[in-house]
Structure 1
Amino acid sequence: MAYRPQLAAALSGASVGQLAYWRRADGPAGALLVPETSSSPLLYSFRDVVALRTAVYLRERLSLQRIRRALGSLRDLGEVDHLSSYQLLAQGHSVVLVPQDGPSVDLVERPGQQVTTVVLAEVLRPFTTSGDITVPDLLHPRRSLRVDPDVRGGHPTISGSRVPFDLVAALVRDGVPVDEVGEYYPGVTADAADDALDFANYVERYNRAPAAA
């Protein structure tokens, strides 16, 4: 299972409008991120979502022009793997590549030169955007929910189960009390049902796509 744009936006912090803008290949700099999973219907992979969180993290701190310059430098250095494979850090007015082994490398101000990094980017952890939207932890978007690429392709489920969050939320919206959801999905507690509904409400906010940037 892969992610439709609305869920990919909710898990990454990008707006649906940004996703559309970033995958456009007809702009002067080309696409920032094109989904690797599917173009029809449009679906994003788990790796795409990680990459999108990286882009949002960087975009909160730097201009899109500098981010594109950094990605261009990555390619010039021979780094052509999926963007999720790289840990990128916004440092000052630049983007720094932080490899697992070896020194960090500047990608904007002095492309290719080694630099000293101070704090590593933690794009999987919760963060707040400039629009005061709290983007949840990618792997645990709510206390009772988890995202595991090996379980339903990474679709958010109730922790410890394979039950998708949206099926539980749909039951509650249909009038099933949260403490009775376990009768339909054994093991789903009232707290888990509350979390599923809360996350579903959060995801639906991404139906409205603000201006892209």
Structure 2
Amino acid sequence: MAYEPRIASALSGATRSQLDYWRREELLVPEVSATRPLLYSFRDLIALRTFVYLRESRPLQTIRKAMNSLRDIGETEHLSKYRFVTQGRRGIALVQSSGEGAVELVERPGHQLTVLALGDVLRSFPLDSIEVPNLAHPRPKLSVNPAVRRGYPVVAGTRVGYDLVAGLVRDGVSPAEIKEYYPGVSAEAARDAVSFADYVDRAAGRTAA
């Protein structure tokens, strides 16, 4: 699935200005299309959520140093392949594939650490004035699955895009009547679709640095 910046922003928590800046600085360049139209992959979403998660407690220059150290130690896979943990007051560490240790990337690059805790960047988390949704289930009755419509947000158990349902409700169709258009979509799922559409609109209007 290719995600346009508006949806990538909503599902990752990154603002549109952050997406643009991180792309220009080559911290995270969309792998589907880095020129207009800009298109992000599902792997990019996971990497973006990691950046947003780290950005809450670390300045951008620290994250940039960690990414440079990652390349210096020979790790050149897509960023979604890696798991990170914050250490101490300023550190960022790469969790080893075994999950039993980590390598410091900022304060003492290459130094081995013991992993005490790891935030799950796929779950929901608060950010400024919004709640970045769980990536797999941005709403209880919605799902994001790379195997279903290449990861576009749909009503769970169907292939119906959230935006189609939300559009009908916004046009005056009641949630209870949605099943007349899409039999597999319950009233509760229709309300979730509208809730997520409203969230996408709010997220798109954020201008945080």
- TM class, shorter-chain normalised? over 0.9
2:43 aligned with 1:47: yes
Q: How far apart are the structure 1 equivalents of 2:156 and 2:124?
A: 18
Q: How far apart are the structure 1 equivalents of 2:101 and 2:114?
A: 8
Shift of 1:211: 4.4
Counterpart amino acid of residue 123 in structure 1: V
- 8 Å CA contact 1:147–1:154 kept in 2: the answer is yes
- SS in structure 2 opposite 1:163? coil
Structure 1 segments unaligned to the other structure (5+ residues): 25-29
Q: How far apart are the structure 1 equivalents of 2:134 and 2:97?
A: 22
- 8 Å CA contact 1:36–1:44 kept in 2: the answer is yes
Counterpart amino acid of residue 13 in structure 2: G
Q: How far apart are the structure 2 equivalents of 1:155 and 1:35?
A: 16
2:96 aligned with 1:99: yes
- Give 2:173's match in structure 1, choosing from 163, 167, 176: 176
Shift of 1:142: 0.2
Q: How far apart are the structure 1 equivalents of 2:204 and 2:125?
A: 20
Shift of 1:116: 1.2
Structure 1 length-normalised TM: 0.94
Structure 1 consecutive aligned stretches of length 4 or more whose deviation exceeds 3 Å: none
Aligned residues: 206
- 2:145 is matched with 148
Q: How far apart are the structure 2 equivalents of 1:91 and 1:164?
A: 40
Shift of 1:106: 0.4
Q: How far apart are the structure 1 equivalents of 2:44 and 2:60?
A: 18
2:207 aligned with 1:210: yes
- 8 Å CA contact 1:144–1:159 kept in 2: the answer is yes
2:136 aligned with 1:139: yes
Note the 1:62-77 alignment, pairs <5 A: 62-77=58-73
**Alpha-carbon RMSD:** 1.1
2:52 aligned with 1:56: yes
* Percentage of identical aligned residues: 57
Shift of 1:132: 3.4
Counterpart amino acid of residue 33 in structure 1: L
- The C-alpha deviation readout for 1:183-210, integer Å capped at 9, x for no partner, is 1111100000000000000001133241
Q: How far apart are the structure 2 equivalents of 1:137 and 1:7?
A: 14
Structure 2 length-normalised TM: 0.95
Q: How far apart are the structure 2 equivalents of 1:207 and 1:135?
A: 12
